[in-house]
Structure 1
Amino acid sequence: MTRIRDGVSRPRARDRRGVRDTALAALVPVAACSVALAGLTAWTGAGRAGSPARIRVTQGKVLLPSAGVPETAAFFDIANEGGSSDTLLRVTARGVPDGVALSRHRMTGGNGAYRSPIASVAVAAGESLAMSPTGVDLTVPVPEGGWSAGDLVTFTLEFRRGGTVESVAVVVRPGSASLP
């Protein structure tokens, strides 16, 4: 309702309050939706949206260690065929003492190389990781009695979201064509 004074229509104070109250009432659901959208965006950006991680482990190889060398390297191809990222946290092997360690191959300025232990390795959704002698690999202690070329070693790979995956690796001679 308006008052007319001097031929000009003016809204009453009560009408202005109603508009303000209506605007404030509309603001609450808009703010709630904005907060929900921001949360979903963060959830998606963190790799937690989409289908779960589906891990496939193939092409396992263990290098035949040289005589008297206490450890060797192992490699796998890991594919994440799911819609969420995952992380390889730990690897064990049957019959292997002292545990298997994740490591990354590093180069020095003088073309020397060394292994650097790592705590975990990420595998993004829809991506794969090909372990290699020049990247991420596994440092494996050699069991008493050692291995021969062609032996099979069973590994269990533990992932944050994908659970555990058991895979078999074949022992191969260093420099063989079957290396990654």
Structure 2
Amino acid sequence: MTGQHPWRPSRRRLTDALLAALAPVAVCSVALGGLTTWVGAGEAGSPARIDVTAGRVFLPYGDSTETAAFFTVSNSGGADDRLVAVTSTAVGGDIALSGHRMTPSGAAYKDRVASATVPAGGELSMAPHGVDVTLRAGSGWHAGELVPFTLHFERSGRIRTVAVVVRPGEPGS
């Protein structure tokens, strides 16, 4: 093979090849930088971190045994969670998550809810005019007594806590 020159790329071909290789490298670098920032901020794949505080249960009035319990549920994690059930060894009968609704005429009524969302970085603050836990009080409860509860979450599992028995209308109730 005498007389043939070896193939040599032209300047234009080298420029086109370099640009073709540079585009995916640039896109990957930008994506990697964004993911690194997200992970560095602690938000990537951060599970729900649930904390239950301020548990209180109303002392029933008169001969009634039906009452309600309230908790503040905080989520310092990066994912939402859902409260799906509440149980207690100190409570007889049915315990349910309830929400209070208003009729068009202005009357209030309670309605069972299947679950309550605890948003990422937020909280679920139970109250008499919102979401609460309806139950039948144990016999002989007194103000100041501690009642054990277990809150069941979709992702975080079970969290045991206590609620203090309070009289409705008193400070902290």
CA distance in 2 between counterparts of 1:62 and 1:109 reads: 29
Cα distance between partner residues in 1 of 2:142 and 2:104 = 35
**Are residue 174 (structure 1) and residue 161 (structure 2) matched?**
no
1:160 is aligned to: 154
SS of alignment partner, residue 150 of structure 2: strand
CA–CA distance in structure 1, aligned partners of residues 56 and 90 of structure 2:
16
Unmatched 5+ stretches in structure 2: 1-27, 29-43
Alignment match, 2:143: 149
Q: Verify: 1:82 aligned to 2:80, yes or no.
A: no
Give the whole-Å Cα distance in 2 for the aligned partners of 1:79 and 1:85. 11
- Structure 1 position 134 matched with structure 2 position 129: yes
Could you tell me how far apart the structure 2 residues matched to 1:83 and 1:126 are? Answer: 6
Whether 1:114 and 2:117 are equivalent positions in the alignment is: no
Task: Return the TM-score normalized by structure 1.
Answer: 0.70
Matches within 5 A, 1:5-20: none
Hey, what's the Cα distance between the residues in 1 that align with 2:72 and 2:78? 18
Alpha-carbon distance between aligned partners in 1 of 2:46 and 2:151, rounded to the nearest angstrom: 21
Cα distance in 2 for partners of 1:73, 1:127 equals 23
**C-alpha contact (below 8 Å) 1:76/1:130 kept by paired residues:** yes
Paired residue total: 143
Partner deviation per Cα, 1:100-141 (whole Å, 9 max, x = no partner): 100001122333211100011111111101000010000011
Q: Give ranges in structure 1 of 5+ residues lacking alignment.
A: 1-32, 34-48
State the AA in 1 paired with 2:141: W
Q: Which amino acid aligns with 1:121?
A: A
Aligned to 1:65: 60
Provide TM-score, normalisation by structure 2: 0.73
CA distance in structure 1 between the partners assigned to 2:113 and 2:140 by the alignment: 25
**Contact 1:93–1:99, Cα closer than 8 Å, also in 2:** no
Say what the alpha-carbon RMSD is for the aligned residues: 2.7
* Deviation sequence 1:26-69 (CA, Å, 0-9, x none): xxxxxxx9xxxxxxxxxxxxxxx621111000000101101221
Other-structure match for 2:46: 51
Q: Distance in 2 between matches of 1:93 and 1:99?
A: 10
The aligned residue for residue 98 of structure 2 is 103
Identity across the alignment (%):
53
Which residue of the partner structure matches residue 123 of structure 1? 118
The 4+ residue runs of structure 1 with deviation greater than 3 A are: none
